[in-house]
Amino acid sequence: GCSSSPASGTDSSLSDVTSKGELVVATEGTYKPFSYHEGGSGALTGYDVEIAEAVAAKLGVKAKFQETQFDGILAGLDAKRFDVVANQISINPDREKKYDFSKPYTVSSGVIVVKASNDSIKSFDDLKGKTTAQSLTSNWYKLAQQSGATVQSVEGWAQSVALLQQDRVDAVVNDKLTYLDFAKNTPNAGLKIAAETTDKSLSAFTLRKGSTALTEAINKALADLSADGTLSKISKKYFGTDVSK
Amino acid sequence: MTWDLIWSSLGPILLGAVQATIPLALASFALGLVIALVIALMRISGNVLLSGIARFYISVIRGTPLLVQLFVIFYGLPNIGLKLEPWPSAIIALSLNVGGYGAEVIRAAILSVPKGQWEAGHMIGMSRAQTLRRIILPQAARVSLPPLSNTFISLVKDTSLASLILVTELFRQAQQIASVGGDFMVLYLEAAVVYWVICLVLSTVQSLLEKRLDRYVAH
Amino acid sequence: MTWDLIWSSLGPILLGAVQATIPLALASFALGLVIALVIALMRISGNVLLSGIARFYISVIRGTPLLVQLFVIFYGLPNIGLKLEPWPSAIIALSLNVGGYGAEVIRAAILSVPKGQWEAGHMIGMSRAQTLRRIILPQAARVSLPPLSNTFISLVKDTSLASLILVTELFRQAQQIASVGGDFMVLYLEAAVVYWVICLVLSTVQSLLEKRLDRYVAH
Amino acid sequence: MSPTSFRPQSGVFQPETVLRVAGLHKAFGTNEVLKGIDLEVPRGSVLALIGPSGSGKTTVLRSLNGLETPDGGTVTIGATSIDFSLGVRKQARAELRDRSAMVFQHYNLFPHMTVLQNVIEGPLQVQKRDRAEVVPEAEALLNRVGLLAKKDAYPFELSGGQQQRVGIVRALALKPQLLLFDEPTSALDPELVGDVLAVIKELAEEGWTMVIVTHELAFARQTADQVVFMDGGVVVERGPASEVLSNPRQPRTQQFLERVLHNY
Amino acid sequence: MSPTSFRPQSGVFQPETVLRVAGLHKAFGTNEVLKGIDLEVPRGSVLALIGPSGSGKTTVLRSLNGLETPDGGTVTIGATSIDFSLGVRKQARAELRDRSAMVFQHYNLFPHMTVLQNVIEGPLQVQKRDRAEVVPEAEALLNRVGLLAKKDAYPFELSGGQQQRVGIVRALALKPQLLLFDEPTSALDPELVGDVLAVIKELAEEGWTMVIVTHELAFARQTADQVVFMDGGVVVERGPASEVLSNPRQPRTQQFLERVLHNY
Ligand SMILES: Nc1ncnc2c1ncn2[C@@H]1O[C@H](COP(=O)(O)OP(=O)(O)OP(=O)(O)O)[C@@H](O)[C@H]1O
Ligand SMILES: Nc1ncnc2c1ncn2[C@@H]1O[C@H](COP(=O)(O)OP(=O)(O)OP(=O)(O)O)[C@@H](O)[C@H]1O
Ligand SMILES: [Mg+2]
Ligand SMILES: [Mg+2]
């Protein structure tokens, strides 16, 4: 709606944050390992959460997290309920029309995950005529569709896995990082990676259009955190490698 | 720009309504009514076991979220070897749901028919089943029409949950389109208007039906 | 292992029920009843404008998904400068919803009180308002108890949508826990059982209340 | 139309007594409502059952029509006899029901059926008779009570008196051996009572066997052969109509008659 | 108890005529139900309104009690006079209502209130009288009709006759200048009718001014001073009770009386 149009006049995005002393960050809270609760019902944590906290610290404010589903996250950003979204939102041209993005803090590729016994899918071209499951957040929707797959939207990763295991879909296209985390915690799931994209997906903090000052401040903070090794450290904690660039 | 979006998304949303929402609602309602009638009859039968089963069924259906019922049927049953496709799963879950809510409506409607009607049926020599079928149910039909049409209106909106088990209906269409650019507010409102129009049509049909059946209770 | 999960998650889920689901339902129901009464009275008032507004309100509330209503109040209203906190937003949306459904129940209950009761009220000199308050509504209360308790049971389950607007209630707790280990089937079932128990308690309260109020209609 | 259709059914087996009730007992919970009722109604005669409210009159009628199951006693209608102390088979109760037909206080017409449909429902659906035979018979009966013109009307379009006349025709169409009336005029406006009573009186004159619960004492005196006065679940007094109504011997009967006649 | 409480209210202004109705008209849609009704009831006298169903009797009573708004004509009760042809202010209708009290055919007691609460509701809530004064008065009235023992019972625990006596007490407790009865016994079992009629008769003897719609002609003959026979929305015949009921001059009156008396 009209709320996405840049605020006319001065950009108060940064001064608003500093004056109230907190950066309001929207996240799903149910998206392991990026944004989830410790042990299920403990404190909010995750890769995106920790990076957001580090960025807030650099800005000299506290990060205040608000958790809701993907539709609420973006609508809430429009409604000025949040300053920024940290939820592995991938940058794409459609979204860039409506939102400002920071510099990316996750660089990852997409993977096709299939059942271990499935040998018929080895590349994106093999998805032609197959059914894939896909969460609404992710950016791999188009890729799968362009490869000729029938794409089913699902609410999250856990359901994607159930659909695969029950042979209700042939493949799941998702972020590689999500799969790796899952495979680490659930070694006997009977799934495997069938193929990986060559394209990289870039995830970044998402802000309202026109939040130029805040975006720049976050970019600077990210650069600082990258320089002092914080990003890398957080990344290694969750993924064992540095995925922040 | 917003109008463009509304216009371009209207096609897929209406398609979702016509291809999934409406047929899903109709099929589930038809099947649900049969279940509701059976459960209602079990509930008012003198048999302790049958009425106990009916009570339990109604209590579980009405006491637990439809979302979970859908999930159990679609994702849970395969664990015991019963794998149903999305559409059958959705129709089963939704009609079981209509069965639970509708059973109470039908039961109340049957009980609202004056006792004298049962007696008049017996007097002319009818059995219990015959009296029920020819005398009581036609009168109960009129009484249960308004609450049943409420159940149907709820059902239309509840079909949106079928998106969780891979049925791409009206609401899912709106969500998918919205998730690309993030215009959830616009698309949800648009979907809401479509639901509203469907419900308005249903209400109109209800009024017409009520008028036709009115002689059944005017006395 | 599954039992461990159920056991360890029971605490947070019950906490969600006690801290959010139940208070949210109670507050919304109380407020919703007031709205329902006002709308019902508008609807049966002779005034064309008032009853038109009431009809429109009921039609919109019942014809559109609650999710969208919540969405509009929480994410839409800030666009016109009205920014409400999650809890007030949830209570407003849910009570407007109860108001729409409850209005029809209360209206039907008022109309079900025999006309002679109005006349007896007028005969002893009461005004319309006085008759309504002292004679009609107490009798309508008993009639509307079962359908209102259905509305309440639906409301309890509908509170789960409040998670969309940042209220961490019962179902959201289950979702959070499920998202870590992927055991959504187990946790959804667990949540369903908790809802069911809440609904059973409500039904029991309803039966007790019905018995207490029964003299109001026994005649 | 032929007046034949208005005559009682003649079976092969024709005992002189159409109805015989002996020692009928019935309790609702601990409330003993019938404490041994004996009745005997010869073919073609009319018995008027009178008594205060709650005395058990309706319960007697309902027992005869199989709507209530007595705890003890025997009921014989025509060739069917049931001893309720033996425990009752559903079958036996249904047979009893087939031999009698009842006219209710509140008519209990089927509101979703036209007048004609109300009348032919039993003969068609239960007795499985031929439509081509049933409809003319029903129309003849309706004509007889002055309601042929209303055959396609719905009950709610009729006055109470008209509805009750349909109720009577519905019972007649079943061709029962015994007609039962439970206060057939007490729900009617006073000016509508006359029409219904006139129809009943004609039926009596045509030789139908009937048991009538009524508070219309003048009517009972004129129409009934026998009057039975019940109170508290027992028969207090019985005898020829004129005798019981004009010269009651029992004090309870006298008191009741006085109250009903409101002698100011 | 003091019999005073059972006496009609005496105002300061005491005209000889308590009720005067002139040219009362009322149509429902195109159905003209009252076509100019004139009535006059002197203080302490009883008027019985009789006539076939649909003749407009109830509509007359309801107009007097402000439950119906006539299209034309004047109604005067005591000091209050309303000309309905001028268009009616709510206020005037309420005043009319305050001067009369009605006893309904179906009692219309408040089912959620005890007998005593039913009786004191009007005096307390509407007339804003003192509870300490109202309750003893109500109890005295209940005692008078033999129902003091039932004061804490709910209506559903009473027989029809008892309920109707409570209905009468509820009306009396309002201390109206005019009592209206709409077929007060026609919903009652025949043996319960007597008690209610006896109470009404006593009220007549004590000097209450009353209009009674009734089909109990014997009662009307004994109790009423004046009988008015209505048919088709007009007064067909009027006069002293014994005259109209015993020697009706109009053929329509004769016909009606015949039907109601069911002369077989
Ligand atoms: N189904 C029932 N359950 C319990 N008690 C009943 C039932 N039917 C009748 N009774 C009781 O049986 C007694 C006799 O009732 P019945 O209806 O036979 O009397 P009645 O003589 O027909 O009275 P009335 O003139 O009021 O119709 C009453 O005390 C009544 O309360
Ligand atoms: N509210 C109403 N709307 C339309 N028509 C009405 C209404 N009330 C009464 N009538 C009609 O007015 C006429 C007179 O009715 P009213 O009740 O006054 O007659 P009545 O003499 O009291 O008859 P009864 O002896 O049956 O009580 C009838 O034709 C009736 O249908
Ligand atoms: Mg009876
Ligand atoms: Mg009347």
Q: How many CB pairs under 8 A join A and B?
A: 56
Q: What share of chain E is helix, strand, coil (3-state, %, to 5)?
A: 40, 25, 35
Q: Which ligand 2 atom sits nearest the alpha carbon of residue E61?
A: 18
Cβ pair A78:C79 closer than 8 A: yes
Q: Which ligand 1 atom sits nearest the alpha carbon of residue D62?
A: 18
Question: What pLDDT, on the 0 to 100 scale, is given for residue B177?
Answer: 86
Q: What is the pLDDT of residues B166-177, one digit of tens each?
A: 888 999 889 888
Nearest CA distance, B61 vs chain C (angstrom): 9
The answer, yes or no, to whether residue D4 has pLDDT greater than 60, is no
Strand partners for E56:
none
Exposure on the CB side of residue C178, measured as CA atoms within 13 A: 23
Q: Which of A36, A81, A162 sits opposite C78 (nearest CB)?
A: A81
| Residue D141 CB partners (closer than 8 Å, separation 6+) | D5, D6, D119, D169, D172, D173
Band of pLDDT at residue B219, cut at 50, 70 and 90: very low
| Cβ of residue E185 lying under 6 Å from some atom of ligand 2 | no
CA C209, C210, C213, C218: dihedral to nearest 10 degrees? -170
Query: The domain B1-215 is classified under which CATH number: 3.40.50.150, 3.40.30.10, 2.60.40.3950, 1.10.3720.10?
Result: 1.10.3720.10
Report percent pLDDT > 90 for chain B.
71
| Cβ of residue D34 lying under 6 Å from some atom of ligand 1 | no
Question: Which of the 8 DSSP states describes residue D122?
Answer: I
Q: If DSSP codes are grouped into helix, strand and coil, which group holds residue A135?
A: strand
Give the per-residue SS3 of E55-80: CCHHHHHHHHCCCCCCCEEEEEECCE
Q: Which ligand 2 atom sits nearest the alpha carbon of residue E213?
A: 22
The answer, yes or no, to whether residue D6 has pLDDT greater than 70, is no
Query: What is the spatial distance between Cα E257 and Cα C157, in angstroms, rounded to a whole number?
Result: 66
The answer, yes or no, to whether residue C154 has pLDDT greater than 70, is yes
Question: Which of the 8 DSSP states describes residue B21?
Answer: I
Cβ pair B119:D66 closer than 8 A: no
The mean predicted confidence, pLDDT, of chain A is 88
Q: What is the pLDDT of residues B183-196, one digit of tens each?
A: 888 999 999 999 99
Q: What is the pLDDT of residues C30-66, one digit of tens each?
A: 999 999 999 999 999 989 999 999 999 999 999 999 9
Partner A contacted by C176 (CB < 8 A): yes
Q: Which of E102, E125, E155 sits opposite C219 (nearest CB)?
A: E155
Cβ pair B196:C63 closer than 8 A: yes
CB atoms within 10 A of CB C194: 21
| Cβ of residue E54 lying under 6 Å from some atom of ligand 2 | yes
Nearest CA distance, C68 vs chain B (angstrom): 6
Query: What is the spatial distance between Cα B214 and Cα B203, in angstroms, rounded to a whole number?
Result: 16
Question: What pLDDT, on the 0 to 100 scale, is given for residue B5?
Answer: 87
**CA D106 to ligand 3 centroid distance, Å:** 11
Question: What pLDDT, on the 0 to 100 scale, is given for residue C218?
Answer: 46
Q: What is the mean pLDDT of residues E158-180?
A: 95
The answer, yes or no, to whether residue C180 has pLDDT greater than 50, is yes
Q: Work out the burial of residue E69: count CB atoms within 10 Å of its CB; fewer than 13 is exposed, 13-18 middle, 19 or more buried.
A: middle
User: Which residue of E lies nearest to D222 if distances are taken between CA atoms?
Assistant: E264
Residues of chain E contacting residue C139, judged by C-beta atoms under 8 Å apart: 111-112
Exposure on the CB side of residue C84, measured as CA atoms within 13 A: 18
| Cβ of residue D159 lying under 6 Å from some atom of ligand 2 | no
The answer, yes or no, to whether residue E219 has pLDDT greater than 60, is yes
Tell me the CATH class for D18-262: alpha beta
Candidates D91, D100, D105, D108, partner chain B, best to mutate (most B CBs within 10 A)? D108
Q: What Rg, from alpha-carbon coordinates, does chain E have?
A: 18
Q: What are the structural domain ranges in chain B?
A: 1-215
Band of pLDDT at residue A7, cut at 50, 70 and 90: very low
Partner D contacted by E191 (CB < 8 A): yes
Taking CA atoms only, the protein residue closest to ligand 1 atom 5 is D28
Beta strand E178-182 pairing with A131-135: unpaired
Segment holding B54, helix H or strand E? helix B48-63
Q: What is the pLDDT of residues A166-217, one digit of tens each?
A: 888 999 988 888 898 888 888 888 899 999 988 888 999 999 999 999 999 9
Question: What pLDDT, on the 0 to 100 scale, is given for residue D7?
Answer: 52
Cβ pair B184:C71 closer than 8 A: yes
Q: What is the mean pLDDT of residues A34-44?
A: 89
The answer, yes or no, to whether residue D9 has pLDDT greater than 70, is no
Residues of chain C contacting residue E64, judged by C-beta atoms under 8 Å apart: none
Q: What is the pLDDT of residues C65-118, one digit of tens each?
A: 999 999 999 999 998 889 999 999 999 999 999 999 999 999 999 999 999 999
Band of pLDDT at residue D179, cut at 50, 70 and 90: very high
Task: Please state whether the peptide bond connecting residue E3 to the residue before it is cis, i.e. omega within 30 degrees of 0.
Answer: no
Query: What is the spatial distance between Cα E254 and Cα E259, in angstroms, rounded to a whole number?
Result: 9
Query: What is the spatial distance between Cα E96 and Cα E177, in angstroms, rounded to a whole number?
Result: 10
Report percent pLDDT > 90 for chain C.
69
Report percent pLDDT > 90 for chain A.
49
User: Which residue of E lies nearest to D196 if distances are taken between CA atoms?
Assistant: E262
Q: In the sheet where E226-231 sits, what is the strand order?
A: E100-103, E178-182, E210-213, E46-50, E226-231, E234-240
Q: Which ligand has the shortest distance to the CA of E60? A: 2
Q: What is the pLDDT of residues E124-145, one digit of tens each?
A: 999 999 999 999 999 999 999 9
Q: What are the structural domain ranges in chain E?
A: 18-262
CB atoms within 10 A of CB B125: 21
Q: Which tops the pLDDT comparison, B163 or D148? A: D148
The answer, yes or no, to whether residue E172 has pLDDT greater than 70, is yes
Instruction: State pTM to two decimals.
Output: 0.87
**CA E176 to ligand 4 centroid distance, Å:** 22
Q: Which of A12-16, A22-26, A74-78, D87-91 has the lowest mean pLDDT?
A: D87-91
Mutate to test the pocket of ligand 2, among E53, E63, E182, E256 (most ligand atoms within 8 A of CB): E53
**Per-residue CA distances from D106 to B115, B219, D154, E189 (Å):** 11, 11, 16, 14
Q: What do you get for the CA distance between the two ends of chain D, in Å?
A: 48
Give the per-residue SS3 of C70-133: HHHHHHHHHHHCCCCCHHHHHHHHHHHHHHHHHHHHHHHHHHHCCHHHHHHHHHCCCCHHHHHH
Cβ pair C139:E106 closer than 8 A: no
- Residue pair C186/C6 in contact by the 8 Å Cβ criterion: yes
CB atoms within 10 A of CB A106: 24
The answer, yes or no, to whether residue A2 has pLDDT greater than 50, is no
CA C55, C57, C59, C63: dihedral to nearest 10 degrees? 180
Report percent pLDDT > 70 for chain B.
97
Candidates E65, E99, E112, E114, partner chain C, best to mutate (most C CBs within 10 A)? E112
Band of pLDDT at residue D52, cut at 50, 70 and 90: very high
Q: If DSSP codes are grouped into helix, strand and coil, which group holds residue E37?
A: strand
Give the per-residue SS3 of A4-17: HCCCCCCCCHHHHH
Nearest CA distance, C77 vs chain A (angstrom): 8
**CA D213 to ligand 1 centroid distance, Å:** 13
Strand partners for E41:
E19
- Residue pair C42/C34 in contact by the 8 Å Cβ criterion: no
Question: What pLDDT, on the 0 to 100 scale, is given for residue B209?
Answer: 86
| Cβ of residue E189 lying under 6 Å from some atom of ligand 1 | yes
**Per-residue CA distances from D92 to D1, D81, D84, D89, D98 (Å):** 36, 8, 10, 5, 10
Cβ pair C125:E127 closer than 8 A: yes
Of these ranges, B210-214, D5-9, D181-185, the one predicted with the greatest mean pLDDT is: D181-185
Query: What is the spatial distance between Cα C100 and Cα C95, in angstroms, rounded to a whole number?
Result: 9
Q: What is the mean pLDDT of residues B109-130?
A: 94
DSSP string, E191-257: HHHHHHHHHHHHHHHTT--EEEE-S-HHHHHHH-SEEEEEETTEEEEEEEHHHHHHS--SHHHHHHH
Cβ pair A185:C71 closer than 8 A: no
Q: What is the mean pLDDT of residues C10-27?
A: 93
Partner E contacted by D197 (CB < 8 A): yes
Query: What is the spatial distance between Cα D173 and Cα D135, in angstroms, rounded to a whole number?
Result: 10
Q: What is the mean pLDDT of residues A103-115?
A: 92
- Residue pair E42/E231 in contact by the 8 Å Cβ criterion: no
The mean predicted confidence, pLDDT, of chain D is 90
User: Which residue of C lies nearest to E65 if distances are taken between CA atoms?
Assistant: C123
Query: What is the spatial distance between Cα A207 and Cα A98, in angstroms, rounded to a whole number?
Result: 9
Cβ pair B180:A99 closer than 8 A: no
Question: What pLDDT, on the 0 to 100 scale, is given for residue C217?
Answer: 54
The answer, yes or no, to whether residue A134 has pLDDT greater than 90, is no
Taking CA atoms only, the protein residue closest to ligand 2 atom 29 is E54
| Residue E38 CB partners (closer than 8 Å, separation 6+) | E21, E22, E23, E24, E235
Query: What is the spatial distance between Cα B144 and Cα B104, in angstroms, rounded to a whole number?
Result: 10
Query: What is the spatial distance between Cα B150 and Cα E249, in angstroms, rounded to a whole number?
Result: 61
DSSP string, D19-39: EEEEEEEEEETTEEEEEEEEE
Question: What pLDDT, on the 0 to 100 scale, is given for residue D182?
Answer: 96
Residues of chain E contacting residue C123, judged by C-beta atoms under 8 Å apart: 65, 67, 97, 101-102, 104, 108, 171
Q: Work out the burial of residue B81: count CB atoms within 10 Å of its CB; fewer than 13 is exposed, 13-18 middle, 19 or more buried.
A: exposed
Question: What pLDDT, on the 0 to 100 scale, is given for residue B15?
Answer: 93
Instruction: Report C:19-78 residues touching A (Cβ under 8 A).
Output: 71, 74-78
Nearest CA distance, A40 vs chain C (angstrom): 4
Q: What is the pLDDT of residues E78-99, one digit of tens each?
A: 888 999 988 877 787 888 888 9
Question: What pLDDT, on the 0 to 100 scale, is given for residue C168?
Answer: 87
User: Which residue of C lies nearest to A80 if distances are taken between CA atoms?
Assistant: C78
The answer, yes or no, to whether residue D253 has pLDDT greater than 50, is yes
Question: What pLDDT, on the 0 to 100 scale, is given for residue D187?
Answer: 87
Cβ pair B76:C150 closer than 8 A: no
The answer, yes or no, to whether residue B17 has pLDDT greater than 60, is yes
E34 φ, ψ (degrees, to nearest 5): -120, 125
Strand partners for D40:
D20
Q: If DSSP codes are grouped into helix, strand and coil, which group holds residue E36?
A: strand
| Cβ of residue D59 lying under 6 Å from some atom of ligand 1 | yes
> Pick from E184, C158, D94, C69: which is nearest to B125 by CA?
D94
Q: If DSSP codes are grouped into helix, strand and coil, which group holds residue E48?
A: strand
Q: Whats the size of chain A, residue-wise?
A: 245
Position D36, amino acid: G
- Residue pair C137/C110 in contact by the 8 Å Cβ criterion: yes
Q: What is the mean pLDDT of residues D62-80?
A: 92
- Residue pair A194/A121 in contact by the 8 Å Cβ criterion: yes
Question: What pLDDT, on the 0 to 100 scale, is given for residue A6?
Answer: 46
> Pick from E224, E167, E229, E179: which is nearest to E77 by CA?
E179
